[in-house]
Amino acid sequence: MAGAALGGPMLVLAGFTVVTNLLMLVMPVYMTQVYDRILPTRSIETLAYLSLMAIAALMLFGLIETLRQTIARRLAARYELAVLPRLITAADDSAAAIDPGAAAKAMTVRRFLGSGAFVNLFDLPFVPLFLGLMFLAHPLLGWLTAAGMVVLVLVTVLNERLSARPGAEQARLQAAAGRSAQDVLSAQEDVRAMGMGEAMARRWRGQALDAALAGERAGAVNARFFGLTRFVRQALQTAALGLGAFLVIHGDMAASLIFAASIVSSRALLPIEQVVGAWKAIAEARRAQGDVGAALALADAADAARGRVELPAPAGHLSARHLRLQLGATPDAPVLVDDVTLAVRPGELAVIVGASGSGKSSLIRLLAGAASPTSGEVRLDGFRLSDWPARTRGRATGYMAQQTVLFEGTVADNIARFDREAGDEAVVDAARRAEAHGFIATLPNGYNTRIGPGGVRLSGGQVQRLALARALYGHPVVLVLDEPNAHLDSFGEEALLKTLAAERARGRAIVVVTHRTNLLAIADSAWLMEGGRLTPMPMPMPMPGAQGRRAQVHPIATALSNG
């Protein structure tokens, strides 16, 4: 898709490059004409006309160079518009497993496409043209220029090999330093409250210094080779002048070709010099495009594997068979979820409890399609999650992560999942069912209140209420909730119990992870997670007069209290 979007601008850029390289011959042609025609005839009129023609050609050259840069910027914008939406939409595809850093790498490619270094690459194919002109001037000049090109190519290859490792190390360390800075900026209150500012600054400073030292090593390699390249090109240009003079003295070449040959020789070597000077940017863009291409290939493969059969709207039968999630490919890598099998039907509420680190959140992410298992499968209405189009699966699933993230925008935007077609009634309905409508009314602008950077700060409980409303938006048939009551007070938890009971009555299949045992009172099945494994727990009989609620003291609660 990106190739199709860039094909037109690429052809136009190539066409302008042909013209601009031909116009590069204006100066050597002008110089030879001055020596061969103007000086012998002493014709001022001819000199004036020839000079005007040369100036007009050079003006056209400058105009085309401006157009080349403009086309490169527009091509970069086209690339961004073609690739980033695909990566963003593919990020919610459980079958694609897109690299989280693919979008940042696409921006690296985008910056390179809009740079002069990218435009200069189009000049490389014209190097043989200028080399051929040197051979026409005299074979010795041609061989001298060819030798210089071989030297520059060898310098480029050595530059790539010697700078690859320090360049990759610099990128890794810069990324680590960037993450540390972002961690501090995203948790300013924690840092301020615990007086961690100086320590975190010292930590970042150390990482930034390591990155700077690695950058210095990589830059030193590039600088040395760039200096060597400049020396080689200037030395060859000087050698071309000297050799030309020698050939003129011996009567083997016209005197007018001395300086013209020097200019053409320099022009033949210039693109190679520019490539060496911009090699770091070229290498980074090439690596980034490789990763972006791999991410797009995964997305395309997922689409192809899914096929084009339109599946009916899911009813909400959620099942998992032999799920396993392991961090790493080595046999001793940590296993977060180990051979889990689970089934929840519409109108059922399954509660999963367990100690911290037992694998509950990892399991919830797999059930919601937020992560892909190492082995095993999750199915919705009998079909694998990867068989469903991401949009269809997303609308059928209400997911609430343990670490709730609300995006910059209005309250209504976040509840509606930033759906442009969302109606006000659907947004308010989701908020009412999540028992969030009341506190939203107290916000400065109600549903139009902006949250995120520069917006209203919400409490943990309010954030969870909005996240639950977002999960309920659109009446999804499956609800997968991770610690939905973690920041709720007793009133909020009572409201949550009411909401879940109502959603179960509407036929939703619900899976909830919790540390608290109050949700067990309305559960249809209960599970204990230990060491990544899921164990079913017996359910007690409802207490008389409990109106359908189960006993508050549950075997799982006893198991948790015993460690």
Whichever domain contains 140, its CATH number is 1.20.1560.10
Tell me, yes or no, whether 467 and 498 share the same domain.
Answer: yes
| DSSP category for residue 188 | H
Look at residue 147 and tell me if it is in a domain: yes
Looking at the predicted structure, is the pLDDT value of residue 492 above 90? Answer: no
**What's residue 561's pLDDT?**
45
Asked if residue 491 lies in contact with residue 459, where contact means CB atoms within 8 angstroms, the answer is no
Tell me, yes or no, whether 362 and 234 share the same domain.
Answer: no
Look at residue 470 and tell me if it is in a domain: yes
Tell me, yes or no, whether 74 and 184 share the same domain.
Answer: no
Looking at the predicted structure, is the pLDDT value of residue 549 above 70? Answer: no
Domain span holding position 156: 125-277
What does the pLDDT average to over 437-466?
87
Look at residue 297 and tell me if it is in a domain: no
**What's residue 147's pLDDT?**
87
What does the pLDDT average to over 40-64?
89
Tell me, yes or no, whether 479 and 401 share the same domain.
Answer: yes
Looking at the predicted structure, is the pLDDT value of residue 27 above 80? Answer: yes
Tell me, yes or no, whether 343 and 441 share the same domain.
Answer: yes
Look at residue 152 and tell me if it is in a domain: yes
Query: Poorest-confidence range of 47-61, 82-96, 290-304, 335-349?
Result: 82-96
Tell me, yes or no, whether 222 and 255 share the same domain.
Answer: yes
Which of 97, 115, 133 corresponds to the end of one domain? 115
* Residue corresponding to tokens 């490169």: 72
Which of 115, 141, 157 corresponds to the end of one domain? 115
Please give the mean pLDDT across all residues of the chain: 81
Of residues 98 and 247, more confidently modeled: 247
Looking at the predicted structure, is the pLDDT value of residue 555 above 60? Answer: no
Tell me, yes or no, whether 362 and 505 share the same domain.
Answer: yes
Give the CATH number of the domain where residue 425 resides: 3.40.50.300
H helix and E strand count, the chain: 20, 12
What does the pLDDT average to over 314-342?
87
* Residue corresponding to tokens 């509660």: 351
Tell me, yes or no, whether 385 and 491 share the same domain.
Answer: yes
Parallel, antiparallel, or unpaired for β 349-354 and 509-513? parallel
Q: How is residue 555 written in tokens?
A: 């075997």
Tell me, yes or no, whether 448 and 352 share the same domain.
Answer: yes
Tell me, yes or no, whether 106 and 143 share the same domain.
Answer: no
Tell me, yes or no, whether 97 and 216 share the same domain.
Answer: no
Look at residue 294 and tell me if it is in a domain: no
Tell me, yes or no, whether 96 and 239 share the same domain.
Answer: no
Asked if residue 143 lies in contact with residue 158, where contact means CB atoms within 8 angstroms, the answer is no
Distances (CA, A) of 129 to 135, 264, 333, 427: 10, 10, 57, 65
> What's the rounded Cα separation, in Å, for the pair 313 and 479?
15
Look at residue 514 and tell me if it is in a domain: yes
| pLDDT tens sequence across 494-531 | 888 899 999 999 999 999 998 877 888 888 999 998 88
Look at residue 180 and tell me if it is in a domain: yes
Look at residue 286 and tell me if it is in a domain: no
The residue type of 287 is R
Looking at the predicted structure, is the pLDDT value of residue 548 above 50? Answer: no
**What's residue 510's pLDDT?**
94
What's the total number of domains in the chain? 3
289 — pLDDT class (breaks 50, 70, 90): confident
Which of 85, 115, 145 corresponds to the end of one domain? 115
Of residues 492 and 415, more confidently modeled: 415
What is the pTM (predicted TM-score) of this model? 0.65
Looking at the predicted structure, is the pLDDT value of residue 560 above 70? Answer: no
Measured at the alpha carbon of residue 458, what is the angle toward residues 453 and 461, in degrees to the nearest 5?
Answer: 140
**What's residue 55's pLDDT?**
92
